[in-house]
Structures are given as structure tokens and as C-alpha cells.
């Protein structure tokens, strides 16, 4: 997994503090911004976080480039829709020749299971390649009959072939995605995906994104992490039972 911050709102904490202050101040925006020293910014953001007044946090956003993750992860990630935008490598337009795949840690630990897993990936690659070639030839011949030039027929046939062949690809298939979230969307993402009960891969991603965001806006994300950091575990009987360890991890 490789996660990097591509860009973010300049002076994010100052922007939030100014936006919050504007609601209760007769000053013009330029004066508000000039009046925002570090101490005042931290005090205002801390107050907003404690009160749960999250709308001012929507004014800042972070864009992450994410690689070396599975499509299983991105199927979960894109469920976070509000305040979030995604652009992902397409299996419809990009041929998955010799595709990379993600191996779960528990499978890596067991040699027999790992062997079977790799065989399954190899078989799916073989099936994908064969399906692409078979469909490509069929589509090419059909397109020539419609009056397409050889160049046009070849291009259209390849697109149609990989469009259909992708159905055989596994969730383990490696993918790349660019994600933009505003801070409020990130709060929600961290609440759900930093939780011990989240699937291991997306939990690792959430932890990495949180660590990056904290470096840019430490006061904004001071209280971020799973829901149990500042209250009881919301999972009921399905709790991980490790609330003390979790709080130690995210408060450090």
C-alpha cells in the first residue's frame, strides 16, 4: 500500500477558524483572516471539535493518491460518498495483462493456503487473457462487416473485449485511486474505518490517511479515530473488547 498526499487546502486550520468566526462577527472577511493568530485558531478549532459543530470543517479538503490496494478495498471506500470524490483506474479501458494482486496477511502465513491462492490468481489471469483474445477476434471480424476500417475495428474490438473479460478478474486485483475528501468526510471515514472491526486493508489505509492528515492539521484531527475514542463502543455485542488499547493507540 502506498499513500501520498497530493494536495490540500492551504492554511487549513486558519480557513476553518475564519469560517466559524464569520458566523458571529461583524468584521469583513479580510479583517477576520488578519486577526487569526495560531493561538486563536487552535482555541476555535478545539471548541468546534468538542461541541461537534462540524460544518466549518467542510471548507478544507485533502487529496490522496492511493496505490497497491485491492478492488475489495475500493469497493468499501467508495461507499463514503458525502463530501468525497474518486477517480479510479478503469478495468474497462485498461487491459489487466499480468495483473498485480493483494495477498491478505493471514494467507501469507500459511504456505498451503498461499500456494492455492497464487494458483487461483494465475488461473484467473490465464482465463482473462484467453477471453480477451477470443472476444477480440470475434468483435474484430464483426466490426469489419459494419464498414469499420481495420484500425477502427482493432481499437473497438479491444475495448469491447476487455470490457467483458474484466468480469473474471478477482477482488484481489491491485488498483489505483485518487481520493478527495473534506475534513468532515474524513472524520466520518476515520470513525468507521479505524475501528478494529473494519476490514484489515481499509483499516490500514484509514490509519495511514489519518497520520498524514494530522501532520498537516494537527488540531483539526486531534480527536479523530474510531468512534470509541470519546464514548462507548457503538458495536454493542460485536465490540472488539479492546477499547483501552484502541484509545492508547490513537491518543499517542
pLDDT in tens, 191-248: 999 999 999 999 999 999 999 999 999 999 998 999 999 889 999 899 999 999 999 9
How many degrees, rounded to 5, is the angle at CA 128 between CA 126 and CA 130? 70
CA count, 13 A, side-chain hemisphere, 177 = 23
Task: Note the pLDDT of residue 252.
Answer: 61
Residue ranges of the chain that CATH labels 3.30.1360.170: 2-89+174-251
35 band by pLDDT with thresholds 50, 70 and 90: confident
102 band by pLDDT with thresholds 50, 70 and 90: very high
52 band by pLDDT with thresholds 50, 70 and 90: confident
Cα dihedral 48, 82, 236, 75 in deg (nearest 10): -140
**Full-model pTM:** 0.92
CATH code of 2-89+174-251, in short, is: 3.30.1360.170
Task: Note the pLDDT of residue 32.
Answer: 87
Catalytic residues: 193
Amino acid at each position: 500500500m502506498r499513500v501520498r498526499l497530493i494536495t490540500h487546502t492551504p492554511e487549513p486550520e486558519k480557513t476553518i477558524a475564519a469560517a466559524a468566526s464569520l458566523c458571529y462577527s461583524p468584521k469583513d472577511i479580510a479583517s477576520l483572516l488578519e486577526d487569526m493568530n495560531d493561538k486563536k485558531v487552535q482555541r476555535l478549532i478545539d471548541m468546534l471539535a468538542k461541541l461537534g459543530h462540524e460544518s466549518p470543517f467542510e471548507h478544507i479538503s485533502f487529496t490522496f493518491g492511493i496505490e497497491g490496494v485491492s478492488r475489495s478495498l475500493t469497493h468499501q471506500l467508495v461507499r463514503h460518498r458525502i463530501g468525497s470524490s474518486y477517480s479510479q483506474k478503469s478495468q474497462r479501458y485498461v487491459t489487466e495483462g499480468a495483473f498485480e494482486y493483494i495477498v491478505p496477511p493471514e494467507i501469507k502465513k500459511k504456505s498451503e493456503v498461499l500456494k492455492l491462492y497464487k494458483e487461483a490468481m494465475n488461473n484467473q489471469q490465464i482465463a482473462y487473457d484467453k477471453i480477451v483474445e477470443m472476444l477480440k477476434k470475434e468483435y474484430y471480424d464483426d466490426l469489419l462487416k459494419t464498414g469499420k476500417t481495420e484500425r477502427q475495428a482493432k481499437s473497438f474490438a479491444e475495448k469491447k473485449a476487455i470490457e467483458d473479460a474484466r468480469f473474471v478478474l478477482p477482488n484481489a486485483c491491485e488498483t489505483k485511486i485518487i481520493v478527495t475528501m473534506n475534513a468532515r468526510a474524513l472524520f466520518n471515514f476515520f470513525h468507521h474505518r479505524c475501528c478494529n472491526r473494519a476490514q484489515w486493508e481499509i483499516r490500514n489505509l484509514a490509519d495511514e490517511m489519518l497520520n498524514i492528515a494530522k501532520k498537516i492539521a494537527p488540531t483539526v484531527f486531534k480527536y479523530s479515530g474510531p468512534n470509541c475514542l470519546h464514548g462507548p463502543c457503538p458495536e454493542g455485542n460485536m465490540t472488539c473488547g479492546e477499547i483501552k488499547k484502541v484509545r492508547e493507540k490513537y491518543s499517542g
